[in-house]
Structure 1
Amino acid sequence: MSQSAPYFRPATHAQGLANYPHARTVTSPDGKGSYIYVSGTSSRRGDGTFVGATRSEDGTITLDIRQQTAAVLSNIDAIIQGASEGKASIHDVVDATVFLTNTKDDYKGMNEEWNRIWPDRNTAPARTTVEVRALPREEILVEIKCTVYYV
């Protein structure tokens, strides 16, 4: 893939700490469709705060996997729609990798939000879920990266 392939990095979304786009679009080899490779996405808002993470006055952070997963999926949908100029949506995801910091406590809640978007396994994307020791910020319980195909 050429580095000159179109990229998408909306100014209103949270920007990564390193230099990478939110998504990169590549035309399929037959020229009939396009792939969108969406970078790992969290629940971080454009202002740097996180959906599903509340910090109390004493510094304790309360985290909610359902709120975070719903926000991640919403953020991904916005990235896909922007990168495709409205021609694709989250329902065009063909493969996803979910990163969780605690599968024991959070797998069920993440799946409940996932299943709201894809209630039928026959139309859901292929998916791998892995537990990681940590994600880039202590406020993050879940991060998802995915691949989209659309015509």
Structure 2
Amino acid sequence: MVNEQSKFSTEKAPKPVGLYPHARKVNDLLFLSGVGPRQAGTLDIPGVTLNPDGSIKDYDIETQCRSVFNNVKTILEESGSSWMNLVDVTVFLTNMADDFKTYNKIYAEYFADNQPCRTTVEINCLPTPIAIELKCIATIDQ
């Protein structure tokens, strides 16, 4: 069996914060790198207010959820896949106690028609001042 691989990046999604592509195709699977809620082409983070030192002053988890889900959708489509092709989603939250209920409600809206496997974990922090990040696997048409 031939192992077909290719990398995908798009300017329609936030620029990665390190040396990695937005997604990588391996045969009929598409692996997305961690995706956050930043806006494409800027450093703006929807739903986040920062202190002068760059730390988080306040944030709106609903706004961040909608933004990160839209970023994932964009990367999937730009890579030749789709939202309906998602098969596995790992969600990283920085405040499970306060944010899970709202995140879970928004997740149910976006994933009503497609219910991939899901794991949600709380982590201490993310590399940018965000409260949520997704790591996804989808199928892709050959």
Please give the range of the TM-score, normalised by the shorter of the 2 chains: 0.7 to 0.9
CA distance in 2, matches of 1:146, 1:17: 17
8 Å contact kept, 2:14–2:71? no
Identity of aligned residues (%): 33
Scaled by the length of structure 1, the TM-score of the pair is: 0.82
Decide which moves more: 103-112 or 46-55: 46-55
Deviation at 1:57, TM superposition (A): 7.5
CA distance in 2, matches of 1:150, 1:14: 21
CA RMSD of aligned residues (A): 2.1
Asked if residue 66 in structure 1 is aligned to residue 59 in structure 2, the reply is no
Deviation at 1:55, TM superposition (A): 3.6
SS in structure 1 of the partner of residue 103 of structure 2:
helix
Question: How many positions carry a matched residue from both structures?
Answer: 138
Q: Unaligned 5+ residue runs, structure 2?
A: none
CA distance in 2, matches of 1:19, 1:137: 15
- 1:149 is matched with 139
8 Å contact kept, 2:13–2:74? no
CA distance in 1, matches of 2:51, 2:98: 21
Equivalent runs, 1:2-81 vs 2, <5 Å: 5-27=5-27, 34-46=28-40, 47-55=42-50, 61-81=57-77
Q: Unaligned 5+ residue runs, structure 1?
A: 28-33
